[in-house]
Chains A and B, each alone.
Chain A
Amino acid sequence: MSEVEVLKPLKTWSHLAKRRRKPSEYEVVSTNLLYNTRDANAPYDLDPDLAMNRWYKQYRNSSPLQHDDWNAFRDPDELVYRTYNMLQDGQETYVFGLFNQFNEREHDKGLEPRWVGTLARIYTPGRYLFHALQMASAYLQQMSPASTITNCAAFQAADSMRWLSHTAYRTKELSLTFTSKGLGEDERKYWEDDAAWQGFRVLMEQVLTTWDWGEAFVALNLVAKPAIEEAVLRKLGEAGRHNGDTLLGMLTDSQLLDAARHRRWATALVKMTLEKSGNAEAIKQWIAKWEPLADQAIDAFCAAMPEVPNAAADAKSATRDFRRSLML
């Protein structure tokens, strides 16, 4: 081994040292962290034929969505753990500031009982929907083929829990003013049985049982989430403003900031997959498969929404605008 070169210390990780520029904190702590992609035959270092190894080989490695270098993906927001908490602590301080101010002004007492009935039917049951988004995002976290993707999925899961938390908070708070609307009691019944929710419930049950990671990403981030964000956040927020519920409109505006970030990473990921032939076709086929379910969900939900003319048409149109922006 005498003629072998002796390795010298590097300024950064060897996998980043080949490039000539100094890596950012985001790159140092986020890139190439998965090791279950190193051996295609045994994602995990046990029997290659172990059930979980077969799961990863089938649903991730053999997905129709393929790329030669998934590790090249970068989150356009370059969020790392500590900046995520700074960002969201700021947002939560803002939202809880709203809760505080509106409570001091006795906001809820000014709401029409009819609107509160609407909230009990199409707002407070939303915690089940947001929790389904949390679960589906956690699935993407475990199945995505690069750590820069799994990070985005993890933050998305946490953001979904954030939305669910806001809804739980407001459900409780509303129930203190309005004791006869079933608030905090009837949400599961509405979610399981009410016509307004059945489209979204079926949509999310189907997304949650989609195991191929590529299809799960497309169904969740390109179809289901945009439908939910346009109908259950944006349009419901508008309905709130039109019914004297200023707080709801401001709350969904804050949540839509998260949604916009989720679309930025999803857009960047789609753009990267288009570098390889075959992916555009796979994505388009999945969108064609999932779009009708999402449209039905928007129609059913928006039909129950008062004071927002053309809510369903607007929401569906906005989901199309987003997907058109992907340049598939």
Chain B
Amino acid sequence: MALLGRLDWYNLARTTNWTPGSVTEDELFPPDMSGSMGIPLSKWESYDEPYKQTYPEYVKVQREKDAGAYSVKAALERSEIYEKADPGWQSVLKLHYGAFPRAEYSASTAEARMARFGKAPGMRNMATMGMLDEMRHAQLQLYFPHELCPKDRQFDWAHKSYDTNHWAVVAARHLFDDMMVTRGASEVALGLTFAFETGFTNMQFLGLAADAAEVGDWSFSNMISSIQTDESRHAQIGGPLVAILLENGRKEEAQRIVDMMIWRAWKLFSAVTGAAMDYFTPVADRKMSFKEFMLEWIVSQFERALMDLGLDKPWYWDQLVADLDHASHAMQMGFWFWRPIMWWNTPAGVTAEDRAWLEEKYPGWSESFGTVWDVITDNLLEGKKELTYPETLPMLCNMCQLPIASVPGPAWKVRDFPLEYKGRSYHFCSEGCQWCFEQEPERYAGHLSLIDRFLAGHIQPPNLEGALNYMSLAPGEIGDDAHNYAWVEKVRAARQKAAA
């Protein structure tokens, strides 16, 4: 072979900054779009991405990865993995596909923001590949669930969800839009690639892949693991940026964005991933609890990464760790209680085996969340299903857009964090969410949560029917108990056996 090695020419391919002549530097890189924080062009040229890949390597490696992901799917096409899966796992798939593909597509625009407005040439090239990666993630995660459409109308939400005002999608858009597509290139690199992709996507895509493998859903497991190999490349866009910001005295700005986005991502994932791992996945197939995954993949991972980069632990760190004990349970309770307003069927996940697992993983669960499930279970045993449906709406946080919740039982201390801003009352679920709002109130002030919209009369008629209509949910796709309450009969049998 008489070819150059990639590192022989790699540097030239990222030596592409020039001094503009017919426009100013700020015109070519508007500060708001580039997030340049007053740092001039020349200072960005020391940016050194640790994961180096060239264009020819990219198209070759990615072609091979796709050949793998699509061929596993094709090979397993007739194996009826989906049909044979537990309804709880089917709901994991519905929740995952409704939450992610269209957001992944939006992430390609976030990468494009860095590819155009990043002041570091290496960042622009890495982000160009990142932009393609995110197209891949959207396309894979649309192609796979598409074949499930004929099996269940709820899979239509893999595409449709982001076109709606569904409450969970409003929450997802509020986070992803804040983190990915409404900020300058530097903030995108800090928030999306560093705060989000180095940790949370690992948990969703590797953690859930581990559960999927246990369940026997190889097609899904293989596909989302393959996605994570792309993330592990383009997630490294943020690290070298932090180095430049610190060298130029912008630690405070970097820390602020990182702190905001870790908090915001944590809140959303406590709902999406937390319930999926602790309740939806059949108990026999759970690799670890959500709390264990969080401690391993997020808490310790971030502690190391932040220290390596010269950043500090976020101020709320102890609070976040304390919340690991209950966040997924509160969200799960909401998912099941308000089950008609989901595009998936929420499994209760409270059979005797489930309860034993929950008590083991979350000591004290039986005395807190367990007591609420006791009431629900008793009502179902007594045939009073109507008492297990909500009569009111949950109060939603004006930042994370999720229900304001806490731990039931003797320790019940649900707390609203209210704030008056320019004559309007805002309500937050936590100090963290209120703090995020206070960092840049003008980014959020004009947004209405679904409850705000309800109170403002945007949702008509103001009842469940109006709410379902507003959220584009119709019979045939609205959620119910995933196991059609079969678990209640198991409880009945167990109680009768115990009584006898």
Contacts and interface: CB of A to CB of B under 8 A. Distances in A.
Interface of A: 1, 4-15, 25, 28-30, 32-36, 38, 42, 44-53, 55, 80-82, 84-86, 88-89, 92-93, 95-96, 99-100, 103-104, 127-128, 131, 134-136, 138-139, 141-142, 147, 150-151, 154-155, 157-158, 161-162, 164-165, 168-169, 171-173, 184, 187-188, 191-192, 198, 201-202, 205-206, 208-209
B143 interface: yes
Among A6, A42, A154, chain B packs the most CB atoms within 10 A around the CB of: A154
B146 interface: yes
B113 A142 contact: yes
Contact of A92 (B1, B60, B125, B155): B60
Given A47-B447, A50-B182, A172-B9, A9 B59 contact: no
Interface string B77-102: 00000000000000000000000001
15 contacts: A6-B474, A7-B153, A45-B174, A46-B182, A49-B446, A81-B66, A89-B60, A127-B12, A128-B18, A131-B16, A134-B128, A161-B55, A164-B13, A168-B13, A205-B28
Contacts of B163: 15, 32, 35, 38
Nearest to B32: A51
B474 A47 contact: no
Contact of A172 (B12, B113, B155): B12
Interface in B169-185: 170, 173-174, 177-178, 181-183
B52 interface: no
Nearest to B131: A154
Contact of A134 (B2, B22, B115): B115
Given A84-B59, A172-B4, 20 more contacts: A11-B150, A29-B146, A34-B106, A44-B181, A45-B170, A45-B177, A49-B442, A51-B32, A81-B135, A86-B63, A92-B59, A128-B18, A131-B16, A139-B112, A141-B131, A154-B108, A161-B128, A165-B9, A172-B9, A192-B21
Interface in B357-373: none
Contacts of A7: 153, 474-477
A294 B206 CA distance: 50
A250 B160 CA distance: 46
A159 to B, nearest CB: 9
B16 A128 contact: yes
B37 to A, nearest CB: 16
B423 interface: no
Contacts of A28: 142-143, 146
Given A81-B139, A86-B63, A9 B149 contact: yes
Contacts of A25: 143
Interface of B: 1-4, 8-10, 12-13, 15-16, 18-23, 27-28, 32-33, 54-56, 59-60, 62-63, 66, 70, 102, 105-106, 108-109, 112-113, 115-116, 121, 124-125, 127-129, 131-132, 135-136, 138-139, 142-143, 146, 149-153, 155-156, 159-160, 162-163, 170, 173-174, 177-178, 181-183, 442-447, 465, 474-477
B56 A165 contact: yes
Nearest to B133: A81
Given A4-B475, A92-B59, A139-B116, A201 B181 contact: no
A85 B62 contact: yes
B3 A9 contact: no
Nearest to A80: B139
Given A15-B160, A45-B170, A168 B149 contact: no
A137 to B, nearest CB: 9
A208 B30 CA distance: 11
B149 A6 contact: no
B150 A205 contact: no
A158 B57 CA distance: 13
B16 A164 contact: yes
Contacts of B33: 55
Contacts of B66: 81-82, 85
Given A1-B465, A35-B163, A158-B55, A81 B444 contact: no
Contacts of B444: 46-47
Given A7-B477, A127-B13, A158-B132, A100 B3 contact: yes
Contacts of A6: 474-476
A47 B443 contact: yes
A171 to B, nearest CB: 6
Contact of B112 (A36, A157, A187, A201): A157
Given A46-B174, A46-B443, A89-B59, A52 B182 contact: yes
Given A151-B135, A192-B21, A158 B477 contact: no
B145 to A, nearest CB: 10
A37 to B, nearest CB: 10
Contact of B106 (A14, A36, A89, A158): A36
A139 B27 CA distance: 14
Contacts of A10: 149-150, 153, 156
A9 B181 contact: no
B159 A15 contact: yes
Contacts of B4: 99, 169, 172-173
